[in-house]
């Protein structure tokens, strides 16, 4: 038997936990850390385990869901849950207000105005302040008993905080999913390979209609009350606005975005205000609701058929519409990303006519099961690019066909690749592709790349648009005359720019590699690559395995580099750059600096430009190396001069490290340094 002290502790814990739920889920202003909440929760759980006879349905521990049902029981609503008539234009609102004035004989009407939540209507029954049951709207007369699921929604109070609660009170409102919870849910569905929900409303409906309340508990549903259906054994205030304030005092979540306004002007002003705020709200709304504020007047005005005459919903333009997907085009972005774009039969969405919608990437198309020719649901929220959210499979035409990602870039014809771990397919013609032109030039000229002072985004735009520059090599062909013809380009700044371009010609290999804009090759990787290979040609010839020898270069980076240099268009631009005089000092690659020269076998072929063969031999031997007359597997280095012979070919076949004269001299001086130091 539990002592009085235990019973008091249990009840105090329940009260505290519900208070913290309220702070967190209703006020969005938590008072304690999650850890502290968990501590209280576990203490209560432990006590309830010890004294199971004290467990009650309104205990916060019961919010995590219980046993699964086989079906929902039907419940008949004590007072029917009616629907609202809709207004789609200002004129219809003016007509509504006129009808209300005529029916009430008042010159101006006071209205309570609030968001029209885009969720599911439910009814909650509290007896003596305790939540006893909850049901969906159903057909308005009979709904389904979803009490177990509603208990898991932490914004719904399990007990009302008031001293003398009415004997029985029915509160009505909307269950919905916050946009942030919806995004998180879909992310998790995607990760688990499960079907994503088309919108927060569908996600909320799917989550509330789970037979297993433990699933509902994980979905993070939310609730807003918008009215009281019935109140026995209690007195309610005289206006809707005051009733809502009262609900708030009882810790019932109500929307902050509600107001009381006068006349039709007040209604329309509220409509505009909420329309502007719509996208920044934490939840979806599909319009606003106007209600005569005076409850006695509401009853006098009464109902027509199944809808009240004292209230109306003023709808926003729908953010979703169904239309046919005529084709899928591919757009190339500034970074070379290929985005499939749906060409649609024109349809009004979110107040504008939409003919295109993004499909994001290939995987999205597969995941959503979109075929060309399908009827699709398109969503446009605010200024966001319209997107295809789902397919109406029941309307699929017989000739619907699959989309295939092109293998070459639709803009420049370069190869298209998808790197491991990336959802996006990209054009590899980074330096060449017109779609990527401006971005590539901007990157090439940027401070950490070739550092062309004065060549900013605006100027690049002008140069490209005037057809003067198509790729980085064209920069080195610019003349004063063509520059001064550009808008806002004085002779002085033109010659400054030319000087900066000229100056950029002498750079470092690391900067040059970085400037190429190879995907995944940032400044540091460029430095590592330059240090390792010493020569651009060696790096360009390296395969994936060789590239992965470079510290910090993994599979993704190596693949990206190989793909970049496999694109003939990029090689052309690189040759043009070198021909234009872009140059750098070459260094001894780390890859050949395996210890000193001592013990290494050299072969010399071809004529060296500055040192004689016997000099080279003497230097090698002085440092403890050997010079051999023929290339074999034992050869470590082949020193290659002009017009090399068959030894050069053999060395290449055997994959022996080749050195030119500069690299050889650097290697000698480094080895000297090693010996001296
Ligand atoms: S009042 C008698 N207020 O709209 C009218 N309904 O078509 C009772 N809804 O099923 C409804 N936000 O789910 C009211 N602020 C709001 C609402 C709202 C959304 C939904 C509700 C109802 C439908 C009416």
Q: pLDDT tens digit string along 424-461? A: 999 998 888 988 989 999 999 999 999 999 999 899 98
| Nearest CA owner, ligand 1 atom 17 | 116
| Nearest CA owner, ligand 1 atom 1 | 226
Say how many Å lie between the CA of residue 151 and the centre of ligand 1.
21
Beta partners for residue 124, in sequence order:
134, 171
Query: Which ligand 1 atom is nearest residue 114's CA?
Result: 15
Report whether pLDDT(676) > 80.
Answer: no
Average pLDDT over residues 308-315: 97
Q: What is 299-363 written as a DSSP string?
A: HHH-EETTEESSEEEEEPPPSEEEEEEEEEEEEE-TTSEEEEEEEEEEEEETTEEEEEEE--SHH
- Angle at alpha carbon of residue 417, lines to 402 and 521, rounded to 5°: 150
Identify which of 288, 290, 302, 313 to mutate to test ligand 1's pocket (most ligand atoms within 8 A of the CB).
313
Q: Where are the alpha helices (DSSP H) in 491-628?
A: 491-504, 509-515, 523-533, 536-541, 544-547, 555-566, 568-579, 613-622
Identify which of 289, 314, 316 to mutate to test ligand 1's pocket (most ligand atoms within 8 A of the CB).
289
Query: Which ligand 1 atom is nearest residue 137's CA?
Result: 10
Burial environment of residue 410 by CB neighbours within 10 A (0 to 12, 13 to 18, 19 or more): middle
**Is the pTM for the entire model greater than 0.75?**
no
- Provide the pLDDT confidence category of residue 249 given band limits of 50, 70 and 90: very high
Helical axes 568-579 vs 555-566, angle rounded to 10°: 70
498 Rama class: left (phi>0) / alpha (psi -120 to 50) / beta: alpha
Query: Which ligand 1 atom is nearest residue 82's CA?
Result: 2
Query: Which ligand 1 atom is nearest residue 174's CA?
Result: 13
> Using an 8 Å Cβ cutoff, are 357 and 344 in contact?
yes
pLDDT attached to residue 196: 85
pLDDT attached to residue 588: 67
Q: Is the CB of 244 under 6 A from ligand 1?
A: no
38 Rama class: left (phi>0) / alpha (psi -120 to 50) / beta: alpha
pLDDT attached to residue 592: 63
In this structure, what token pair is assigned to residue 540?
Answer: 């360009």
Say how many Å lie between the CA of residue 224 and the centre of ligand 1.
11
Report whether pLDDT(152) > 80.
Answer: yes
Q: Is the CB of 365 under 6 A from ligand 1?
A: no
Report whether pLDDT(156) > 80.
Answer: yes
Say how many Å lie between the CA of residue 159 and the centre of ligand 1.
24
Pick from 89, 97, 284: which is nearest to 177 by CA? Answer: 284
Q: Is the CB of 174 under 6 A from ligand 1?
A: yes
User: What confidence tens digit (pLDDT) does each residue in 373-430 have?
Assistant: 999 999 987 777 899 999 999 999 999 999 999 999 999 999 999 987 788 999 998 8
pLDDT attached to residue 596: 66
Q: Is the CB of 82 under 6 A from ligand 1?
A: yes
What share of the chain has pLDDT > 70, as a percent?
98
- Provide the pLDDT confidence category of residue 11 given band limits of 50, 70 and 90: very high
Say how many Å lie between the CA of residue 21 and the centre of ligand 1.
25
User: What confidence tens digit (pLDDT) does each residue in 206-234 have?
Assistant: 999 999 999 999 999 999 999 998 899 98
| Nearest CA owner, ligand 1 atom 18 | 116
Say how many Å lie between the CA of residue 84 and the centre of ligand 1.
6
Tell me the backbone φ, ψ of residue 43, rounded to 5 degrees: -65, -45
Q: Is the CB of 489 under 6 A from ligand 1?
A: no
Q: Which of residues 549 and 146 earns the better pLDDT score?
A: 146
Say how many Å lie between the CA of residue 476 and the centre of ligand 1.
67
pLDDT attached to residue 574: 95
Identify the three-state secondary structure at position 62: helix
List for the chain the helix, strand, coil content (%; round to 5).
Answer: 40, 20, 35
pLDDT attached to residue 677: 37
In this structure, what token pair is assigned to residue 541?
Answer: 């010839």
Tell me the backbone φ, ψ of residue 349, rounded to 5 degrees: -135, 130
Identify which of 143, 226, 230, 315 to mutate to test ligand 1's pocket (most ligand atoms within 8 A of the CB).
226
Q: Which of residues 98 and 592 earns the better pLDDT score?
A: 98
> Using an 8 Å Cβ cutoff, are 243 and 230 in contact?
no
Look over the chain and give the mean of its residue pLDDT values, rounded to a whole number: 91
Pick from 558, 582, 566: which is nearest to 445 by CA? Answer: 582
pLDDT attached to residue 591: 61
Catalytic residue among 7, 116, 368, 492: 116
Q: Is the CB of 87 under 6 A from ligand 1?
A: no
Q: Is the dihedral of CA 258, 263, 269, 272 positive or negative?
A: positive
Between CA 244 and CA 131 the distance in angstroms is: 18
Say how many Å lie between the CA of residue 312 and the centre of ligand 1.
9
Whether 368 is a known active-site residue: answer no
Which H helix or E strand runs over 676? helix 661-676
> Using an 8 Å Cβ cutoff, are 160 and 129 in contact?
yes
Query: Which ligand 1 atom is nearest residue 308's CA?
Result: 2
Q: Is the CB of 137 under 6 A from ligand 1?
A: yes
Q: Which of residues 396 and 652 earns the better pLDDT score?
A: 396
Between CA 420 and CA 556 the distance in angstroms is: 6
pLDDT attached to residue 577: 96
User: What confidence tens digit (pLDDT) does each residue in 529-552 have?
Assistant: 998 888 899 899 999 999 998 888
Q: Is the CB of 475 under 6 A from ligand 1?
A: no
Q: Is the CB of 117 under 6 A from ligand 1?
A: yes
Say how many Å lie between the CA of residue 227 and the centre of ligand 1.
9
Between CA 167 and CA 164 the distance in angstroms is: 9
Report whether pLDDT(593) > 60.
Answer: no
Identify which of 83, 171, 267 to mutate to test ligand 1's pocket (most ligand atoms within 8 A of the CB).
83
- Provide the pLDDT confidence category of residue 256 given band limits of 50, 70 and 90: very high
What share of the chain has pLDDT > 90, as a percent?
71
pLDDT attached to residue 445: 96
Which H helix or E strand runs over 126? strand 120-127
Query: Which ligand 1 atom is nearest residue 227's CA?
Result: 1
In this structure, what token pair is assigned to residue 389?
Answer: 């959210």
- Provide the pLDDT confidence category of residue 673 given band limits of 50, 70 and 90: low
Say how many Å lie between the CA of residue 277 and the centre of ligand 1.
20
| Nearest CA owner, ligand 1 atom 23 | 83
Identify which of 113, 174, 306 to mutate to test ligand 1's pocket (most ligand atoms within 8 A of the CB).
174
Report whether pLDDT(50) > 50.
Answer: yes
Between CA 610 and CA 322 the distance in angstroms is: 75
């Amino acid at each position: 038997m539990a002592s009085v002290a235990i019973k008091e502790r249990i009840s105090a814990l329940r009260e505290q936990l519900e208070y913290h739920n309220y702070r967190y889920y209703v006020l969005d202003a938590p008072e304690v850390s999650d850890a502290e909440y968990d501590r209280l929760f576990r203490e209560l759980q432990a006590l309830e385990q010890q004294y199971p006879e004290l467990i009650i349905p309104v205990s916060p521990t019961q919010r995590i869901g219980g046993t699964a049902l086989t079906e929902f029981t039907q419940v008949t609503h004590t007072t029917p849950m009616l629907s609202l008539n809709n207004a789609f234009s200002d004129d219809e609102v003016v007509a509504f207000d006129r009808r209300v004035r005529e029916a009430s004989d008042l010159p101006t009407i006071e209205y309570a105005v609030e968001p029209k939540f885009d969720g599911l209507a439910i009814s909650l029954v509290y007896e003596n302040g305790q939540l006893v049951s909850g049901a969906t709207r159903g057909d308005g007369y009979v709904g389904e008993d979803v009490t177990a699921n509603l208990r898991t929604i932490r914004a719904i109070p399990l007990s009302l905080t008031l001293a003398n609660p009415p004997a029985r009170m029915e509160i009505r409102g909307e269950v919905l999913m916050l946009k942030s919870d919806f995004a998180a849910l879909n992310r998790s569905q995607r990760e688990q390979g499960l079907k994503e929900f088309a919108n927060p409303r569908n996600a909320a409906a799917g989550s509330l209609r789970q037979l297993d309340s433990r699933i509902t508990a994980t979905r993070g549903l939310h609730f807003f009350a918008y009215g009281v259906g019935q109140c026995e054994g209690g007195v309610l205030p005289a206006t809707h606005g005051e009733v809502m304030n009262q609900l708030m005092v009882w810790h019932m979540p109500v929307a902050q975005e509600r107001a009381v306004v006068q006349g039709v002007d007040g209604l329309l002003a509220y409509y505009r205000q909420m329309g502007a705020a719509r996208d920044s709200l934490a939840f979806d709304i599909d319009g606003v609701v106007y209600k005569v504020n005076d409850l006695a007047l509401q009853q006098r005005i009464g109902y027509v058929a199944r809808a009240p005459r004292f209230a109306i919903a003023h709808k926003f333009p729908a953010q979703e519409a169904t239309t046919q997907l005529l084709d899928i085009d591919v757009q190339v972005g500034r970074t070379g990303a290929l985005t499939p774009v749906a060409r649609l039969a024109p349809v009004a969405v979110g107040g504008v006519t939409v003919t295109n919608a993004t499909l994001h990437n290939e995987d999205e198309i597969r995941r959503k099961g979109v075929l060309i020719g399908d009827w699709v649901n398109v969503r446009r929220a605010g200024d966001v690019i319209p997107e295809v959210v789902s397919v109406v499979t029941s309307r699929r035409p017989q000739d619907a066909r699959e989309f295939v990602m092109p293998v070459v870039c639709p803009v420049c014809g370069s190869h298209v690749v998808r790197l491991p771990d990336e959802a996006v397919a990209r054009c590899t013609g980074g330096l060449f592709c017109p779609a990527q032109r401006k971005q590539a030039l901007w990157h090439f000229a940027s401070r950490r790349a070739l550092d062309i002072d004065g060549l900013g985004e605006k100027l690049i735009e002008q140069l490209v648009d005037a057809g003067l520059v198509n790729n980085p090599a064209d920069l080195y062909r610019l003349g004063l005359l063509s520059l001064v013809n550009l808008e806002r380009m004085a002779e002085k700044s033109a010659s400054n720019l030319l000087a900066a371009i000229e100056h950029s010609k002498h750079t470092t290999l690391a900067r040059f590699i970085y400037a190429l804009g190879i995907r995944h090759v940032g400044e540091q990787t460029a430095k590592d690559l330059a240090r390792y290979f010493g020569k651009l040609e060696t790096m360009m010839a390296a395969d994936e395995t060789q590239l992965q020898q470079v510290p910090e270069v993994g599979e993704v980076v190596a693949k990206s580099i190989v793909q970049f240099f496999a694109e003939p268009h990029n090689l052309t631009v690189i040759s043009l750059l070198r021909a234009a005089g872009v140059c750098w000092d070459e260094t001894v690659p780390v890859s050949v600096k395996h210890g000193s020269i001592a013990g290494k076998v050299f072969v010399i072929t071809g004529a060296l430009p500055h040192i004689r063969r016997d000099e080279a031999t003497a230097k090698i031997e002085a440092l403890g190396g050997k010079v051999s007359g023929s290339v074999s597997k034992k050869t470590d280095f082949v020193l290659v001069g002009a017009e090399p012979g068959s030894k050069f070919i053999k060395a290449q076949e055997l994959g022996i490290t080749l050195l030119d004269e500069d690299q050889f001299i650097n290697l000698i001086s480094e080895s000297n340094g090693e010996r001296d130091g």
